[in-house]
Amino acid sequence: MSQNVLESVDLLSDPRVVDAATADDSCVVSINPATGKPIAAVRLQKRADYDAAVERAVRIQKHWRRLPAPKRGEIVRRIGLALREHETALGELVTLEMGKIRPEGIGEVVECIDIADFAVGLSRQLYGLTMHSERPQHRMYEQWHPLGTIGIITAFNFP
């Protein structure tokens, strides 16, 4: 089943994903906790790869912040659509990697889709506060802008 899931979301065409049977010390092997068998392996990246990825993200963010929020929302909508197209396969991959039951694995993907849908709606609701000022003929207001490039390591490891 794991091979079919990997193929259905086209992970095997990524050169960073390797067959677990041929994995070496330069790889991290993902193990199915229910069976103890390897699912796939991912090649570890070097510091230069990390630096290049961050540099690219910073460069792209300068363009991203100039896009109107509804245009950014459209991009998020397309990400949500891609998740929908592969909902079952991605849910099965979560099931394999996390040892969850199938409905919970698919539920994780559905949650991501729901968040994308919510974010799309918010892209047209970036309201800022207006505040009174002590100064005559003066107005203050908030305006929201993308924060910038950040890195997040988040838990995704409960059965």
- The model's pLDDT over 97-141, given as tens digits with 9 standing for 90+, comes to 888 899 999 999 999 999 999 999 999 988 888 888 899 989 898
Domains of the chain, earliest start first: 2-141 (3.40.605.10)
Q: How many CB atoms lie within 10 A of CB 106?
A: 19
- The model's pLDDT over 56-65, given as tens digits with 9 standing for 90+, comes to 999 999 898 8
- The model's pLDDT over 89-108, given as tens digits with 9 standing for 90+, comes to 999 999 988 888 999 999 99
Secondary structure of 13-77 in HEC code, one letter for each residue: HCCCEECHHHCCCCEEEEECCCCCCEEEEEECCCHHHHHHHHHHHHHHHHHHCCCCHHHHHHHHH
Question: What's CA 80's distance to the chain center, in Å?
Answer: 10
Note the pTM of the prediction, 2 decimals: 0.76
